[in-house]
Amino acid sequence: MVVEGDISTCSIQHVLQEAEVAAEVPMVDEIMQVDVAMEHLNYQSHHITYTADDSTGVTRFAGVQHEVNHTSKTQLQGWKDVIHEMCTMYNECMVGATAGVTDPRELVTKVKGMLTDHAEDQKKLIHLFREWKEVYEREVLQKGLLQLQEELKGGKHRPPKSKIDTHLKLAISFKIGQEQFSALTLPEKESVDFFIWAGCCMHKDLNAVKGGNTCMQAWWGHNGVDGPVLLMNCDNAAATSGGLFTAQAYAVHVSQGGAAKALALAGSVFRHKDDKKGQ
């Protein structure tokens, strides 16, 4: 192509702007035509936090999975799939290495807690995960006993007696059931079954505010200090103005005042969970 003449700087700027517009406008139009709604689709993100060899905390992303629903059992199955896939990949990559084969059950026994929100499905998930972990702990103990017996029969180096007694005690607890396991000492049981559940900090901050507000209201009563004006609803206000003495006393007892009540009323007006109420 032969180009005659030169393009001015101003024309070049106009051409680039038109090219940008020509590229962005169709893209936006195409995106608007695509149905990208996430309704009725459940995606679960997994993260694992642990302490490294140098005592520093490490958090790793373990992937996102599409789940058919948001039930606790489905979420637990998602964790099972993630851990199984991780161990399978590790074992396939470490063939012939000195690291050895990783048993998914042993990885699960190293889990010492979970961090979720306070929803009911998460509470049930914690309960299911704890049960799953306890089953694997008993299986790992049994596995350790069998390996110990093979070492002793094979004439290999005999482990210390304290190690043998510990393995036998824990493994026997698995074989004869949970009743005998409960007979272990408290430190032994806590070491094996240790598992904590932590919730999100939002609720902790909210509980701190509610607790502080409750203590402040109690201080007013103990020290004879008049608290803030009660912010009564229509029914309680009517009861205190002309009702029976018992009704008046009850209305005053159930009514609240102060900043916490004012904020709760403001939330009901401007951010009500029911779209048909408030503004």
Contact 179, 208 (CB under 8 A): no
Local confidence band at 176 (pLDDT 50, 70, 90 cut-offs): very low
Please state the rounded mean pLDDT for residues 185-189.
Answer: 78
> How high is the pLDDT of residue 34?
57
pLDDT bin (cut points 50, 70, 90) of residue 98 is low
Cα separation, 88 vs 73, in Å, equals 22
pLDDT over 70, % of the chain: 72
Query: What is the rounded average pLDDT of the residues 14-28?
Result: 73
User: pTM, whole model, 2 decimals?
Assistant: 0.53
Could you count the other beta carbons within 10 Å of the beta carbon of residue 75? 23
Segment 224-262, tens digit of pLDDT:
888 888 888 888 888 888 767 778 888 888 888 888 888
Q: How would you label 134-146 residue by residue, b for 16+ Cβ within 10 Å and e otherwise?
A: bebbbbbbbebbe
Of the chain, the percentage scoring pLDDT greater than 90 comes to: 9
Asked if residue 194 has pLDDT above 70, the reply is yes
Residue 48 CB burial class (10 angstroms; 0-12, 13-18, ≥19): middle
pLDDT tens per residue, range 130-161: 999 988 887 776 666 556 556 666 555 555 55
3-state secondary structure of 198: strand
Question: How far is 148 from 13, CA to CA, in rounded Å?
Answer: 79
Whether the CB-CB separation of 256 and 231 falls below 8 Å is answered with yes
Helix count (H) and strand count (E) of the chain? 11, 4
Q: Coil, helix or strand for 180? A: helix
pLDDT exceeds 80 at position 51: yes
Looking at residue 229, the DSSP 8-state letter turns out to be: P
What region, left, alpha or beta, does residue 177 occupy, with left being phi > 0 and alpha being psi -120 to 50 degrees?
left
Helix, strand, coil percentages (3-state) for the chain, rounded to 5, are 60, 10, 30
Whole-number pLDDT of residue 76: 93
Instruction: Report CA-CA distances (Å) from 89 to 9, 47, 85, 101.
Output: 57, 17, 6, 11
Q: Is the pLDDT of residue 206 over 80?
A: no
Q: Mention every residue, 6+ apart, whose C-beta is less than 8 A from residue 138.
A: 173, 174, 181
